[in-house]
Chains A and B, each alone.
Chain A
Amino acid sequence: MSRRPLTPFRNGVAVFAGVSALLLVGCGQKATQPIVVASVSDVSSLDPHLLDVNHPTGSVIWSLFDSLVRRGPDGADLPRLASSWERVDDLTWRFHLRADVKFQDGSPFTADDVKFSFDRMNISPFNSEQQLWQQTTLKQVTIIDPHTVELKTDKPATTMLYWLEEAFVAPKAYYSTHDEAWLNTHPMGSGPYKLVEWVPGDHLTLSANPTYFGGEPPLHDVEFKVVPDLNARLNGLATGDIDLALNLTPDTVTQANTAHSRGSTVLGLRKLHFGIAQHSTQAALRDPRVRRALNYAVDVPTMIRTLLHGATVPLPSVVNPPNNNPALKPYGYHPDLARQLLAQAGYSQGFDLDVDFTPMWGQDKDIAETVAGYLNAVGIRTHLHADEWSDFKNHLANQSFNGIFYAGWAALINPAVELVIFTCNQEDNASGYCDAKYDDLVHAANTNFDPVSRKAQIEGAEAMVWNDAYWIFLWRDPEYAGISNRISYTLRGDDYVEIYTATPRQP
């Protein structure tokens, strides 16, 4: 075989290179684009009564629909479709509805729509996602006149407004004449945004509702985009393709400081902790001295400084501020005290402890390994288990963990809802804790409208949880995001995105 050059090949290479160069030069021009919100996952449904997670499904539902009451970022109960409300008696709530609201198809909003929507939330499959009826012991929705409804409950419901904030109102005429498959993709609400299109797995586009009763939102076109990869979200911020990139990490949030964007951190409301399984074969975990020892053994402030770059604070209670019991203080790092307590409980030689985690709450592996390291240092023999999410969730539901498990709880500000996790037979009481005295306190507080005695009951329940060390208490989960220079937006601590509160930023 000779090495004679063959000219057609050379020509081919030249043509290929030329075409590639032309293609590259032709790219890179950006047209005016909508505000892009990049999230890890896609919306699951556009049916307001199948809302399953705060973001992105919740964020989109909050944009398309209205609830009677709006949940402020600080947990405040603000008027939305209801202009005001009062309690007629302990078992009856009365809501006065706005008369100037129209759904996006032009039909007027009335009490009929409220009753229809709430009744719909009480039937399967909606009732497995919507807890309004179950949590408030709601019994009946009564129309008093076209702009007044009454809600009757079995027991006094102090959490009524909280649950109403996630109860969205859909027009009766539209939702009773279309089938579920249609409604799942063709929402009709009264919210600040209208749906333009939803391409599942890729993006969802909204445009401002010009006739919104609260005024047209400042940003006209918004796109919720699925960008699962963290680096892809960061790159999108750097190039100006993404305006709000969620779920950044402590290590990457500074990378969001680019020519087009800046990183933003907010002290989240979710409480990260290790649950301590009470149905464990390890009897040590049922001894409060051992549980307190677990808390003293872990150096939470150092972990916050090193793993989270100081972006959060140790939990002051299982109830978020401002409702937390001010008498309670974080355990602090006292390994000697931990060893003493273990010895007092008869475990001076330590014991075997399973430590479970799952990729759900961020930095799971780092945090589980660090905590295991601290526990090893006081003589506890830890065994780490990385669980797949659905296995982990099965263990949560079945109370079948055998040791401690890394989890997050209640990204909200409402002591009644936050405390209920430890009551006996509560569905998401994953550690299986059960104490009749505690139950009495929490149930009394949740049915007590007197603010003074209620506060005392709540603080009493908080103190029980804290002193009995039902968890290894860690910190509030910080939220990290990148925000482009095109918009101003303040992150919420509960990871809902209220994009209608964002405004264009002056250059």
Chain B
Amino acid sequence: MNAAAISRLSRALLVLLAVSFLTFIIGHESGDPVMLLARGDATAVQKQDLRHSLGLDRPVMAQYGTYLRNALHGDLGESYRQHLPVTRLIALRLPASLGLATTAFVLAMSLALLSGLLCVIYRHSMLDKAVAGLAVLSQVVPGFWLGLILVLIFAVHLGLLPVSGAGDFEHLILPAITLALPTFGRMSRMIRAGILDALNSDYIRTARAKGLPERDVLLHHALKNALLPLITQAGLELGDMVGNAFIIEIVFAWPGIGRMTVESIQQRDFLVAQGCVLIIGTGFVLINLAVDLVYAAIDPRVRARR
């Protein structure tokens, strides 16, 4: 178990190292931040001074070496544009991203589970068809459009919720629903299909033959087995919610890390982009780790294989 854990951890670190190296190289090859930072009428000497003071005139590998050394000490550098420590910028944005992603994830998963189960129980009913329709809609309706429509209805016309920005719980409701919907659509269909698949298995026949009530058959036997393959998918969905929420973050003026990543790339603010990618990468690695652990906890076969 220890050896497995160490091997997994070292693989995770290697992934992060590769991610940071690639981001660094791609960032440096894609343009000169000094051109965006300095005024158009700054002289070549002034631009060179600025390049020097930012350390951008050193060889790229030397810059990367310094970056790694500092990163290991918890220093991810300073934003070229805002002159603030990257760790501070991330610390400011990460809670908003995590809050939004967690809420959306919990919302999507609980609704998906509920609707998936209901669709199995009342399959081919109006409810089943309605959920199927909603699932398809959730995949084809772009998030930014849905967000705007929800804002128009609930914030502008009904005045029930705030238009945009972060703050208390009410600010969270519309962006969370917008972010949750695509995940809800995918997961509810997968849960429904997974349970129906499981219900055709031999062990379900056995369980029913034992005389178990239908509820126990469904919840303890079919659902548990159907959930296994969905855990991986759920993990990926959560990762996406942190990293890919930037459109939602723009529509709702949500100060999350997705928007910061995109803005920093546009502004060639490499160290910020780098920090964001590292944090999102770390998030993915942690989620994968968590998925593996949950797998092991739920499925005895996974434990036995180790």
Q: Is the CB of A201 within 8 A of B259?
A: yes
Q: Hey, what's the 0/1 contact readout for A113-140 against B, CB within 8 Å counting as 1?
A: 0000000000011011101001100000
- Hey, what's the 0/1 contact readout for B136-168 against A, CB within 8 Å counting as 1? 000000001000100110111011111111100
Residues of chain B with a CB closer than 8 A to A229's CB: 144, 164, 250-253
The residue of chain B having its C-beta at the shortest distance from the C-beta of A124 within the complex is: B49
In the complex, B83 has a CB within 8 A of chain A: yes
Residue A90 CB within 8 A of the other chain: no
- Complexed CA–CA distance, A235 and B50 (Å): 40
Contact of B37 among A13, A24, A47, A52 (CB under 8 A): A52
Please determine whether A232 and B253 come into contact, CB atoms closer than 8 angstroms: yes
State A25–B159 Cα separation when bound (angstroms).
10
Known: A202-B165, A226-B255. A6 touches B40 (CB 8 A): no
A231 touches B83 (CB 8 A): no
Closest Cβ–Cβ distance, residue A183 to chain B (whole Å): 9
**Bound-state Cα–Cα, A285 to B89, Å:** 47
Which residues of the other chain, A, contact B43 by a CB distance below 8 angstroms? 134, 427
Q: Residue-by-residue, is A181-202 near B (CB-CB < 8 Å gives 1, otherwise 0)?
A: 1001100000000000001111
- A228 vs B263: C-alpha distance when bound (angstroms): 11
Chain B residues lying within 8 Å of A356, measured Cβ to Cβ, are none
A27: which of B170, B250, B252, B255 is its contact (CB, 8 Å)? B170
| Complex interface: chain A residues within 8 A of B163 (CB) | 232, 235-236, 238-239, 241-242
Given contacts A3-B121, A13-B114, contact A239 B42 (CB under 8 A): no
- Among B39, B120, B160, B260, max chain A CB count under 10 A is at B39
Binds A, one of B8-16, B28-36, B64-72, B280-288: B28-36
Q: Mark A9-21, 1 if CB is under 8 A from B, else 0.
A: 1001100100000
B82 within 8 A of A: yes
Does B202 count as interface, using CB distance less than 8 angstroms?
no
Whether A225 lies near B165 (C-beta < 8 A) is yes
With A9-B118, A27-B170, A390-B268 given, is the CB distance from A427 to B42 under 8 Å? yes
Which A residues touch B173, using CB under 8 A? Answer: 23-24, 27
Contact B253 A200 (CB under 8 A): no
Any chain B CB within 8 A of the CB of A180? Answer: yes
B202-232 residues at the A interface, CB under 8 angstroms: 214-215, 218
Say yes or no for A45: interface residue by CB 8 A criterion.
yes
A241 to B162, CA, bound (A): 8
Q: Is A5 an interface residue (CB 8 A)?
A: yes
Is A160 on the interface with B (CB-CB < 8 A)? no
- Chain A residues contacting B148 (CB-CB under 8 Å) are 231, 235
Q: Are A128 and B37 in contact (CB-based, < 8 A)?
A: yes
Q: Given A27-B160, A27-B170, A124-B50, A227–B253 Cβ distance below 8 Å?
A: yes
A125 and B266 alpha carbons, distance in the complex (Å) = 21
Distance (whole angstroms) from the CB of A389 to the closest CB of chain B: 7
- Known pairs A23-B173, A128-B37, A226-B255; A232 contacts B114 (CB<8 A): no
By a CB distance below 8 angstroms, the chain A residues around B165 are: 202-203, 225, 227, 241
Answer whether residue A302 sits at the interface, using C-beta atoms and an 8 A cutoff.
no
Contacts of A1 in B (CB 8 A): 120, 199, 214
| Residue B238, interface by CB 8 Å | no
Contact B38 A129 (CB under 8 A): yes
| Chain A residue contacts of B40, Cβ below 8 A | 393, 396-397, 427-428, 430
| Chain A residues close to B by CB (< 8 Å) | 1-6, 8-9, 12-13, 16, 23-28, 41-42, 44-45, 47, 50, 52, 124-125, 127-129, 131, 134-135, 180-181, 184-185, 199-203, 225-229, 231-232, 235-236, 238-239, 241-242, 388-391, 393-394, 396-397, 426-428, 430
Q: List 20 A-B contacts (CB under 8 A).
A: A4-B121, A5-B122, A9-B117, A124-B50, A124-B53, A125-B53, A128-B38, A131-B41, A134-B41, A135-B41, A184-B82, A184-B83, A201-B260, A202-B92, A202-B166, A228-B253, A228-B259, A236-B164, A239-B159, A427-B42
The 9 closest A-B pairs by CB, nearest first: A428-B40, A124-B49, A202-B255, A27-B170, A128-B38, A128-B50, A227-B253, A390-B31, A128-B46
Additional A-B contacts beyond A232-B250, A239-B156, A241-B162 (4; CB < 8 A)? A8-B215, A238-B163, A428-B39, A428-B41
